[in-house]
A and B are shown apart, each in its own frame.
Chain A
Amino acid sequence: MKKLKTSAIVAAGLALAIGGAAQAQDFPERPINLVVPFNAGGGTDLLIRGFAPHFAEALDGDVFVSNTAGGGGTIAAGALAGQRPDGYQLGYFSITVSTIQPQINDVPYGLDSWSPICSVAASPTVLFTSESSPYTSIEEAVEAIRAAPSTLLYGSSGPGAITHLTAVAAFKGLGVIDDVRHLPFQGSGPALQGIAAGTIQFFGDTEILMQGGGLRPLVVFNSERLASMRDVPTATEIGIEPPLNELYLWGGFFAPAGTPPEVVETLSNACGEAIASDGFQAFAEKTNTVLNYRNAADFDAFYRAQYKANGAIIEAAGL
C-alpha cells in the first residue's frame, strides 16, 4: 500500500514535470481569453471579435472574447495587471488605456505591468473644424484664436481621450493653448453634434471621421501627408515640434508582465499571422481600420517610447 502511494506521488510528479515542459511547446493547451476593456458593441469590441477567429486559427487553439467595462478601460487593465503571467489572458489596450491613464490617474498598473505582445491598429489623428466654418486652413484658425482669445472652443469625447490630446497637441504646438477653451463631451457622438450645431469649433479624431461628411481637416499628426487629404499639412510642416507633431490612435495586445518569452513569441507570431490573413484584412477594410502590426520586441520599444512622449502632451493638457 505504501509502495503504491510512493509510486503514485512519483507518477504525479513526473506528470507535472512533463506538463511543465510541454507548456512552452504546446502552448496553448487551454482557450485564450481576449479581454476587451469596453462594453460589447463598441468599436474596439467589434475589432477584437473580428480578430479572434483569425487569431485562433493562427494559434491552432481556442480563443474567446470577454468584456470588462468601466473607467475608460482602466477597470479591465487594473484587473489584468498582476494576474498569472501564463499568456492565457490578453488585454487589448489603446494608447489612452496603456500610456495616458496610468500617468493621469491613480490606477493599479503602470509602465512595467505588461509584457507587450503585438500592436494591431494605428491611425494618425487629424484636427477638424466644421465644413461651414470660416477657417479654411490652420493658419486662419490660429489667427482667429489670437484675434479673440478665450472665445473659441474645442471639444473632446472626454478628458484624457485621444480626441482631447489631438487638440492639445495642435494648440500647444502652435502656442495658443491658453487662448482656446476645452469643452468635454460624453463620447464622440455628442461632440460631433456640438460641432454640427456650432457649439464647438474644433475637434480632433482619426481620419475615418471625414467619411461622415460635414468636416474640414486642418492638420494631420502623421509623419507624412495622408493620401485621402493631400492638401492638408502635417503638424511638422506648420511648425509643431516633437513630441507633439505625431499622434496616433493605436492599440495592441498586452499580457501581464513576466509572461515567458517563448509564450510571448508564439502569441506575437500568431498575432502577425492573423493580421496578415485575408479574412482579417477584408474585415479591416470594411471597418476602415488602419492595421499596423508590430511584433513583441518592436511593440515593447514603441510602447515605452510612447509612454514617455505622451507625458509631454499630458502636461500640456494640464491633466
Chain B
Amino acid sequence: MLDLLPQALSLIFTVEGLLVLTFGTMLGIVLGALPGIGSTVAVAMILPFTLTMSQAPAILLLLAIYAGSVYGGSISAILINTPGTPQSAATCFDGYPMALRGEAGKALGWATMASVVGGLASSVVLILAAPQLAAFALNFGPIETFALIVLGLTCIVSVSEGSLIKGLIAGVLGLFLSVVGGDPLTGEPRFTFGSFQLIAGFDLLAVVIGVFALSEVLLRASQRDEANVALIDFRGIVLPKLGEWRGRIGGLLKSVAIGNVIGIMPGTGAATAAFISYAEARRSAPTRANFGKGEPDGLIASESANNAVTGGALVPTLALGIPGDAITAVMLATLTLHGVTPGIRLMQDNPILIAAIFTGFFVVNLMLLPLGMLVSRVAAPLLRLREAYMLVVITLLCTLGVFFVRGNPFDLLVMAAAGVIGFVLRRQGYPMAPLVIGMVLGPTLEISLRQGLIITNGSFVQFFTHHPIAVALILAAAAMLLLPLVRAIRARQG
C-alpha cells in the first residue's frame, strides 16, 4: 500500500481534490450538527452531485462528508444536548454538563481533538492492515455479534445516574421499544395494536431526539426563572493544552482501539462503539467519579471511538467490497456509478484509487481540526440567543430533522410523545441514556441471537462451546458487571 503513496497523493493534491475535501468536510460538519441529518442522509444527499465528477474526487467528497458528519454530531450534542446523530448520544453525557458549566469551548476542544485522533488512527489502521482485518472480520458471525451486544448492554449499568433500578427500567423500556414493528425474521407485526404505521417500528432518531432534546426543552421551559439569559456561553473552540492530556492518553488509545475493532465488525456501528467505549472509560478511568457531570475523559471516550469507527467500517467495504452499513453501501454505489465494480477484487483491480481513498481519508481527518473550529465559530452567535428563543430554535430544528429523514409525519408524533414521556421520566429521576442504549442495541441483539439459534439448530450451549470469540466477549461483559461489585465490597471491608 505504501509504495502507491506518490500516485495516490497526486490524485488527492489537485485543485479539484483539495476543494472537494475542504468543502465536503465543512458541509459534513454542518449536516452532522443539524439534528436528524445523520451520516447516511448526509452522504446520500451529496451522492447525486458526484455524478459529474471523476472517480477520485467523487469518492473523496463522500468520505469527507462521512467523517465530517460523524464529528459534527458532537457540536449539537455538546451545545444544545441534542445529538446530531445517534452516534453522538454518548457525547451528551459529559459534553452538555461541561457546556452548562460555562466550558462549552473547552468541551468542543476535547471533542475535536478526540475525533481527530480517533479518525487519524483508524485511517492508519486502514492503510496498514485492511486486507488482513477484513479476513478477520469474516470470523465475526451472528453469534459473536450477539456476544458483543451483550457486552454493550452492560453500559446501562455505568450510565445509570443515581438509581440503578431506574436505569434498568429505562434500559428495558428501550429494548421493548425496539421490538415494536415487523418481526425481523418472519415479517410478522408485533405490538402494533393494529396500527399500520407501527409496522415499521419506532424510528430510532425520532425517539432519541425526543427523549434528549425535546425533553430538555420541556425541562428548561418548566424552570422559568432564568429564561432571559443565554443558556450556553460559547465563543469558539478552546483546544486543550498539552499538559491537560496528562493521564488521559491511555484512555484515548483504548477508546480508539474499541472504535476501530467495532467498526470493522459487521452490523454494529458508531453508536454501539461510542457507548461501549464510554462505559469502559467510566469503569476504568481514574476520573470515573466525575463522569456524567462534565468530565473530559467521558467526552474523549465517546468521540474518539465514534470517529475511529469510520475507518474501521471502510475495511470490509473496500477490502471485500461488502458494505457493513447503509453509509458504506452508498459509497459502493458511488463507485459503481463511476465504473468501478465493488467486490472482492476491488483492491487488486484498483490499487491506486484505493490508495487514494485511504490517504484522502487521512487528510480529511486532519482537516477536521481547522474546519471544525471554523464551523463552530460561525455557529457561536446562534447560541447567544436568549434561552426562550433558543428553545424555540431547538424545537424547530428537531422537528425539521426528524421529518426530513423518512418524510413520515408519524415520526413527528413519535418524537413529541418521546419528548413528553422523557420529560416526565426525567423529573422522576429516570436516566434517558439507558433507554437510548436499549433502543440502539435492541434490534441487533434480537436478530443476532435468533440468527445464532438458527445456525446452531436451537442450541444455545453451542454459543459457548464452538465460538471462542463470543466466549471472550461474554466473559468481558461479566467482568464489567462484577468488577464494580467486587470494588464496592472491598471498599466496605476496607
A residues in contact (CB < 8 Å) with B:
39-43, 45-46, 49, 66-72, 74-75, 78-79, 104-108, 150, 153, 158-160, 181-187, 189-190, 192-194, 196-197, 199, 211-214, 286-288, 319
Contacts and interface: CB of A to CB of B under 8 A. Distances in A.
B47 A46 contact: yes
Given A41-B43, A41-B330, A213-B344, A189 B199 contact: no
Contacts of A108: 196
Given A190-B266, A214-B344, A107 B451 contact: no
Interface stretch (B24-32, B285-293, B316-324): B316-324
B395 interface: no
A40 B41 contact: yes
CB-CB nearest 9 A-B residue pairs: A41-B44, A212-B343, A70-B200, A71-B200, A159-B187, A40-B44, A197-B138, A213-B343, A41-B330
Interface string B351-380: 000000000000000000000000000000
B216 interface: no
B186 interface: yes
A103 B443 CA distance: 25
B236 interface: no
A189 B337 contact: no
Nearest to B444: A186
Interface in B6-48: 40-41, 43-45, 47-48
B55 interface: no
Contact of A70 (B41, B333, B406): B406
Contacts of B339: 286
B196 A107 contact: yes
B388 interface: no
Given A39-B326, A41-B326, A159-B185, A153 B344 contact: no
Interface string B175-197: 00000011111110100001011
Contacts, number: 147
Contact of B408 (A45, A69, A181, A212): A69
Contacts of A186: 184, 267, 443, 447
For A69, A107, A212, the residue with the greatest tally of chain B CB atoms inside 10 Å of its CB is A212
Nearest to A67: B407
Nearest to B338: A286
B267 A190 contact: yes
A107 B199 CA distance: 9
Interface residues of B, number: 58
A197 B186 contact: no
Contact of A192 (B47, B196, B322): B322
B329 interface: yes
B316 A193 contact: yes
A52 to B, nearest CB: 10
Contacts of A190: 266-267, 324
B40 A41 contact: yes
B304 to A, nearest CB: 26
A192 B329 CA distance: 12
A14 B236 CA distance: 62
Nearest to B321: A212
A254 B183 CA distance: 27
Contact of A183 (B44, B47, B329, B451): B451
Interface string B44-72: 11011000000000000000000000000
B335 to A, nearest CB: 11
Given A78-B196, A212-B321, 17 more contacts: A41-B43, A41-B329, A46-B47, A70-B203, A70-B406, A104-B187, A106-B196, A158-B184, A184-B185, A189-B266, A190-B267, A193-B322, A193-B324, A196-B138, A213-B321, A213-B345, A287-B337
Contacts of B200: 70-71, 74-75
Contacts of B185: 159, 184
Nearest to A182: B454
A212 B336 CA distance: 10
A189 B408 contact: no
B382 interface: no
B312 interface: no
A106 B195 CA distance: 9
A212 B319 CA distance: 12
A153 B189 contact: no
B184 A194 contact: no
Interface in B265-298: 266-267
Contacts of B137: 193
Contacts of A199: 141-142, 455
For B182, B183, B203, the residue with the greatest tally of chain A CB atoms inside 10 Å of its CB is B182
Contact of A197 (B139, B203, B330): B139
Nearest to B333: A46
Nearest to A107: B196
Nearest to A210: B343
A105 B333 contact: no
Contacts of B457: 150
Given A71-B199, A75-B200, A194-B141, A39 B184 contact: no
Nearest to A318: B186
Contacts of B326: 39, 41-42
